[in-house]
Amino acid sequence: MKIAVLPGDGIGKEIVAETLRVLGRLELKLEFEEAPVGGAGYEAAGYPLPEKTLALARQADAILFGAVGDPRYDALESSKRPEQAILGLRKALALFANLRPAQVYEELAEASALRPEVVAGLDILIVRELTGDIYFGEPKGIRQHPAGGREGFDTMRYSEAEIRRIAHVAFKAARSRGKSGGPRVCSVDKANVLETSRLWREVVAAEAKSYPDITLSHMYVDNCAMQLVRNPRQFDVIVTGNLFGDILSDEASMLTGSIGMLPSASLDANGKGLYEPIHGSAPDIAGKGVANPLATILSAALMLRYSLNQGVAAERLERAVKLTLRDGYRTADIYTAGTRKVGTAEMASAVAERL
Strands 237-240 and 184-189, by their bridges, are parallel
Residue 211 has, within 13 A of its CA and on its CB side, a CA count of 23
Check binding of 83 to ligand NAD (CB under 6 A): yes
Which window, 66-74, 120-128, 159-167, 184-192, contacts ligand NAD (CB under 6 A)? 66-74
Q: Which of residues 243-302 bind ligand NAD (CB under 6 A)?
A: 259-260, 276, 279-285, 291-292, 295
Question: One of 80, 250, 268, 335 is an active-site residue; which one?
Answer: 250
Count CB neighbours of 49 within 10 A: 26
Check binding of 242 to ligand NAD (CB under 6 A): no
Which of 101, 107, 17, 4 has the alpha carbon at shortest distance from 62? 4
Between 183 and 260, name the residue whose CB sits nearer to ligand NAD. Answer: 260
118 burial via Cβ count (<10 Å: 0-12, 13-18, 19+): middle
Count CB neighbours of 338 within 10 A: 8
User: Is 2 an annotated catalytic residue?
Assistant: no
**CA-to-CA distance for 48 and 46, rounded, in angstroms?**
7
Between 130 and 163, name the residue whose CB sits nearer to ligand NAD. Answer: 130
DSSP string, 73-103: GTTS-GGGSTHHHHHHHHHHTT--EEEEEEE
DSSP string, 194-208: -HHHHHHHHHHHHHH
Check binding of 13 to ligand NAD (CB under 6 A): no
User: Is 327 an annotated catalytic residue?
Assistant: no
Between 31 and 284, name the residue whose CB sits nearer to ligand NAD. Answer: 284
Q: Which residues contact 270 (CB under 8 A, 6 or more apart)?
A: none
Between 194 and 332, name the residue whose CB sits nearer to ligand NAD. Answer: 332
Between 14 and 236, name the residue whose CB sits nearer to ligand NAD. Answer: 14
**Near ligand NAD by CB under 6 A: residue from 86, 248, 300, 321:** 86
**Residue 236 DSSP code:** S
Count CB neighbours of 8 within 10 A: 28
Strands 329-330 and 340-341, by their bridges, are parallel
Check binding of 69 to ligand NAD (CB under 6 A): yes
User: Is 222 an annotated catalytic residue?
Assistant: yes
Between 112 and 292, name the residue whose CB sits nearer to ligand NAD. Answer: 292
**CA-to-CA distance for 297 and 288, rounded, in angstroms?**
19
Residue type, 251: E
Task: For residue 6, give the 3-state DSSP assignment.
Answer: strand
Check binding of 67 to ligand NAD (CB under 6 A): yes
Question: Closest separation between CB of residue 161 and ligand NAD, Å?
Answer: 26
**CA-to-CA distance for 14 and 109, rounded, in angstroms?**
26
**Near ligand NAD by CB under 6 A: residue from 89, 333, 354, 355:** 333
Which window, 27-35, 61-69, 176-184, 308-316, contacts ligand NAD (CB under 6 A)? 61-69
Question: Closest separation between CB of residue 342 and ligand NAD, Å?
Answer: 12
Question: One of 190, 306, 329, 333 is an active-site residue; which one?
Answer: 190
**CA-to-CA distance for 216 and 213, rounded, in angstroms?**
10
Question: Closest separation between CB of residue 108 and ligand NAD, Å?
Answer: 13
**Binding residues for ligand NAD, how many (CB under 6 A)?**
21
User: Is 190 an annotated catalytic residue?
Assistant: yes
Question: One of 2, 222, 288, 327 is an active-site residue; which one?
Answer: 222
User: Is 329 an annotated catalytic residue?
Assistant: no
Question: One of 61, 123, 135, 268 is an active-site residue; which one?
Answer: 135
Torsional sign, CA 121, 116, 219, 164: negative
Between 1 and 328, name the residue whose CB sits nearer to ligand NAD. Answer: 328
Question: One of 246, 268, 322, 341 is an active-site residue; which one?
Answer: 246
Which of 281, 264, 306, 268 has the alpha carbon at shortest distance from 37? 281
Check binding of 68 to ligand NAD (CB under 6 A): yes
Kindly list the residues in this chain that would bind ligand NAD in the complex (CB under 6 A). Answer: 11, 67-69, 83, 86, 259-260, 276, 279-285, 291-292, 295, 331, 333
Catalytic positions are 135, 190, 222, 246, 250
